[in-house]
Amino acid sequence: MSKHAVTNQAPDFVDHQLLDGDRALSEAIERWGDPGDRAELDAIGLLAGTREAREHGRLADANRPILRTHDAHGNRIDEVEFHPSWHWLMRQAVGFGLTAEPWTRPLGTGAHVRRAAGFLTWSRIETGHGCPVSMTYAAGSALRHDEQSARRWLPKLASRRYDFGLRPVTDKAGAIAGMGMTEKQGGSDVRANTTTATATPGGPLAGETYRLDGHKWFLSAPMSDVFLVLAQAPGGITCFVVPRVLDDGARNPFALQRLKDKLGDHANASSEVEFGGTWGSRLGDEGRGVRTIIDMVGATRLDCILGSTATMREALVRALHHARYRAAFGAPLIDQPLMRNVLADLALEAEAATVLGMRLAHAVDLGDSDLSRLGVALGKFWVCKRTAPMVAEALECLGGNGYIEENGLARLYRAAPLNSIWEGSGNVNALDVIRAVTRAPASLEALTKELHIARAASRDLDAYTDAAIAQAGALDAGSPEAAFVARNVVEQLALALQAALLVEHSPDVAEAFIASRISGRHGHTFGTLTADLAGAADAIIDRALWPA
């Protein structure tokens, strides 16, 4: 045999139908979705697994966007240039209806479940372009409450035509949305924003028009057609609809200062922007900006859960794929008992995240705002925090092969922490949960009802759930003590919710999840399931590998 012959290496992970291979997601679609949507979701799964799609994901990440502040003649243009693979990924995502389309369909039709399943599957290719896709979806939730804004923007944001370029929205077949909330001095504390909004009647936009002056510290996807922006109006923090191009074709003042040099998600452009007399039309009442934009925040947080779940699932599948083909110490890795412990533990995490994310999308479909408000905040905290250590462990399953760029897991690892930061870091989400359970009792009641689905399935789970609900219900809103224990409260409620959902919908994995996450039969790292769960681990791995 030639010394250069390559043996004992896994083949490239390509040409797999990603949705067919995800049993938990497939069952969620059957359970909560419209059967008529399955064919199109299968098309997403088929394309996402191709070598072509994988290569576009790699190229989009490897070729970062470039900021062009001026043209050759010195004119300010403030444009961002993207690699063709970015546009290919966006064209497919928009074409599959993963943007604002669900907000144009009636509640209860499974539109949000369909979109969640598609977004989760497609995000496994490349996570960066999911940002503008997610913001466009989320913008629809806020704009639909204003008749004039909805009529003007929602059809274009829901369009399946990707139409890149800065032109008036009336000249475009489709549009993409972004958002501008955080500033240097405040971050998540948007009430500390200093960008001002001065009422200027008779401007070039429909509705109540204002001129905005100030900056935004993080403004992702700056080539989007329209942004929802928070600024200080005379009445307080207010939400504004800010297009990049005015109806007469003139550029709205929008000075891009630089693009962020980020840890991951290199394909997406995140910018700093200065507003100088920038036109915006008011969305909602003055002083009610946070309340106006809260639906958009909730929708993007749901996508944080789904996107993190996609990263988990992709990392798990890469680890399983490698373990199937790689032999060590006389046997395939997947047959080694300790590796099976690790793989089963990772599979538990991924399935729990999947079922939770899809259940929350179903709550949005039903208009169950009490459950979705609290459930999304819980899931955003917990699932997004679990992603980075989970991906790190999956990467380790490949050893040195996982650490090199060509494999793709390194890119997943760099992206893994993002969703835990975006739309409020862990502390912000934890405090949102405390506010919800203390100031909106109906949300805790809705969560309690969901948790009681699993009543009597496990004494340990019943006791854990009762303690979690009691602790949450006893909190004193605004007290230092409540804030101090916020993360503990969120973690317990999130784990109880995941366990309850698995009991009802994934009984094959529920026992091991409860034993390891609820009953304490688990160490501090992945791969520490106790010996009595070895048989359950076999079933969990078989389920995660479905179809064989």
Delimit the domains of the chain by residue range. Answer: 23-157, 170-287, 291-544
Local confidence band at 408 (pLDDT 50, 70, 90 cut-offs) = very high
Confidence check: pLDDT of 522 > 90:
yes
Instruction: Identify the pLDDT of residue 449.
Output: 96
- How large is the average pLDDT for residues 25-36? 96
Directed axis angle between helix 130-143 and helix 111-122, to 10°? 160
Instruction: Identify the pLDDT of residue 548.
Output: 52
Percentage, residues of the chain above pLDDT 70: 99
Instruction: Identify the pLDDT of residue 140.
Output: 95
Residues 6+ apart with CB under 8 A from 57: 85, 89, 125, 126
Angle at 270 between CA 142 and CA 198, to 5 degrees: 55
Q: What is the pLDDT of residues 222-262, one digit of tens each?
A: 999 999 999 999 999 999 999 999 999 999 999 999 999 99
Question: CA separation (Å) from 265 to 126, 261, 326, 419, 498?
Answer: 8, 10, 29, 11, 28
Query: Please, what's the largest Cα pairwise distance for the chain?
Result: 80
* Radius of gyration for the alpha carbons in the chain, expressed in angstroms and rounded: 23
Confidence check: pLDDT of 533 > 90:
yes
Cβ atoms of residues 132 and 220 within 8 Å: yes
Q: What is the pLDDT of residues 301-327, one digit of tens each?
A: 999 999 999 999 999 999 999 999 999
Instruction: Identify the pLDDT of residue 434.
Output: 92
Structure tokens at 385: 């925090």
Q: What is the pLDDT of residues 154-169, one digit of tens each?
A: 999 999 999 999 999 9
Query: What residues are paired with 70 via a beta bridge?
Result: 76
Confidence check: pLDDT of 477 > 90:
no
Domain 291-544 fold is: Butyryl-CoA Dehydrogenase, subunit A; domain 3 (1.20.140)
Q: What is the pTM of this model?
A: 0.97
Backbone phi, then psi, for 4, in 5-degree steps?
Answer: -100, 0
Cβ atoms of residues 320 and 343 within 8 Å: yes
Could you say which architecture CATH assigns to the domain 170-287? Answer: Beta Barrel (2.40)
Instruction: Identify the pLDDT of residue 1.
Output: 65
Local confidence band at 545 (pLDDT 50, 70, 90 cut-offs) = confident
| Burial group, residue 6, by CB count within 10 angstroms (0-12, 13-18, 19+) | exposed
Cβ atoms of residues 199 and 234 within 8 Å: yes
SS3 (DSSP) at 440: coil
How many of the other CB atoms lie within 10 Å of CB of 226? 26
Q: Which of 260-269, 436-445, 458-467, 514-523 has the lowest mean pLDDT?
A: 436-445
Residues 6+ apart with CB under 8 A from 72: none
Residues 6+ apart with CB under 8 A from 459: none
Angle at 119 between CA 118 and CA 124, to 5 degrees: 105
Distance (Å, rounded) from C-alpha 451 to C-alpha 462? 9
| Burial group, residue 240, by CB count within 10 angstroms (0-12, 13-18, 19+) | buried
Distance (Å, rounded) from C-alpha 248 to C-alpha 170? 10
| Residue 177 φ/ψ region, left for φ over 0, alpha for ψ in the -120 to 50 degree band, beta for the rest | beta
Average pLDDT over all residues of the chain: 95
Distance (Å, rounded) from C-alpha 226 to C-alpha 204? 15
Distance (Å, rounded) from C-alpha 233 to C-alpha 229? 12
- Under DSSP, the state recorded for 11 is P
- How large is the average pLDDT for residues 448-463? 95
Q: What is the pLDDT of residues 203-212, one digit of tens each?
A: 899 899 999 9
Alpha-helix residue ranges (DSSP H) falling in 282-336:
289-325
- How large is the average pLDDT for residues 54-73? 97
- How large is the average pLDDT for residues 342-366? 98
SS3 (DSSP) at 506: coil
Distance (Å, rounded) from C-alpha 175 to C-alpha 243? 11
Distance (Å, rounded) from C-alpha 544 to C-alpha 548? 9
- How large is the average pLDDT for residues 96-123? 97
- From the list 211, 242, 215, 233, the residue with the least C-alpha distance to 285 is 233
Tell me if 170-287 shares its fold with 291-544. no
Please tell me whether the peptide bond between 102 and the residue prior to it is cis, using omega within 30 degrees of 0: no
- From the list 229, 223, 247, 218, the residue with the least C-alpha distance to 77 is 223
- How large is the average pLDDT for residues 443-454? 95
| Residue 399 φ/ψ region, left for φ over 0, alpha for ψ in the -120 to 50 degree band, beta for the rest | left
Instruction: Identify the pLDDT of residue 60.
Output: 98
Q: Which of 24-28, 104-108, 363-367, 544-548 has the lowest mean pLDDT?
A: 544-548
Directed axis angle between helix 441-451 and helix 459-473, to 10°? 180
Local confidence band at 186 (pLDDT 50, 70, 90 cut-offs) = confident
Local confidence band at 415 (pLDDT 50, 70, 90 cut-offs) = very high
SS3 (DSSP) at 289: helix
> What torsion, rounded to 10 degrees, do the Cα atoms 42, 45, 47, 51 define?
-150
Q: How far is CA 89 from the centre of its chain?
A: 17
Distance (Å, rounded) from C-alpha 418 to C-alpha 388? 9
Distance (Å, rounded) from C-alpha 264 to C-alpha 105? 34
Kind and range of the H or E run holding 480: helix 480-484
Kind and range of the H or E run holding 274: strand 270-283
Question: What do you get for the CA distance between the two ends of the chain, in Å?
Answer: 31
